[in-house]
Amino acid sequence: MELSKLTLEIFSKLEHKWLSHFKGTNKTRILSIDGGGTTAIVAGASLIHLEDQIRLQTSDPYAHIADFFDIIAGTGIGAILAAMITAADAFGRPLNSARDAVRLITERNSEMYKVKIAGVFRRQRRFSSRSMENVLKKVFQRKEEDGRFLTLKDTCKPLLIPCFDLNSSAPFVFSRADASESPSFDFELWKVCRATSATPNHFKPFSLTSIDGKTSCSAVDGGLVMNNPAAAAVTHVLHNKRDFPSVNGVEDLVVLSLGNGSTSAKAYNNPKSSTPSVVDIVLDGISETIDQMLGNAFCWNRTDYVRIQAFGLENEGMEEEEVLKERGLESLPFGGKRLLTETNGSRIESFVQNIVATGKTSTPSSPCKESAVTPLVNGR
């Protein structure tokens, strides 16, 4: 029996809708990496697994995370990882793999967060600003003999990193989009990472200026207002028609948000919790609020907004395999929570399957390809 013209039309539309959903709709892809802590165990394990899966599912051993995302955002230690995997070489290609970036954070961790004792009675525990800055300078230093450094423009994909500016008492967001528009908003990458990592009670505020000296900022940790920078990235994309002309609403976005573990439980269980631990509790709460807000914005469509988190009490001692075996909590309407059935690893694998089916991204690459730095060898 022949199908009627109306039936054929209905099936044709259904097929088109099904294919567009599963084969990709050219949605803009956002990768967000939380701040918090000094080790980035959860985010690091997630990034390595993410890139390994991309290479496995594309059969391309040289594929990078930046090839499959349109914009990458990060705060604190998450910003350092974000900057490392987007920093471009002379050909506009990613300078570091995810594994290289995480290896450096691991191998240089004691240098980046070198403890020093300060205060009149030497009771205040701080990290050495000079030690952190020396590591960041080596990571983002140019290859040329003059020793200049990579800037926001020297990234292979749009990069977004927030801090809080004490001069204006407001958030300040570093972005490649602004840097491409004017040198007054182009900053050296090592300074940007140092600014967003200036956690109160751990580091002193960090003052920096743009490469032309016209814009200045006295920065403290961006995590104070944007520990989960996913919302800032979504807002940026929705309002940046130059780089993202096809985005009209959140339905045109796909977001992968990587947490850095929950330290709240340890602080609550420890009656002698220090001020930094209390700050961690606040930051965890901010991330949870943003997670629920984005879940609501995406109509709780978990294929378009994926949040990777781990809630073990000893996150800083977790191994990569443990992080991937963890199951996160899903924010539900009206403040509800639900333990997910899938592990972090399987959720990342499903996410990669979806973005690989769509193909590589096509957003503008680095607007400044003439600068190059020497790739790190064994994190050195």
146 flagged as catalytic: no
Chain centroid offset of residue 100 CA: 16
- Could you tell me whether strands 28-33 and 71-74 are parallel, antiparallel, or unpaired per DSSP bridges? parallel
Structure tokens at 2: 């022949």
Q: Of the residues 100, 178, 221, 291, which is catalytic?
A: 221
β partners of residue 254: 29
What's at 66, amino acid-wise?
A
CA separation for the pair 127, 318 (Å, rounded): 23
Backbone angles phi, psi at 151, to 5 degrees: -120, 180
CA separation for the pair 269, 310 (Å, rounded): 18
DSSP secondary structure letters along 352-368:
HHHHHHH-S--S---S-
Q: Which residues lie below 8 Å from residue 97, measured CB to CB, with a gap of 6+?
A: 51, 64, 85
Number of Cβ atoms within 10 Å of the Cβ of 15: 10
- Residues involved in catalysis: 221
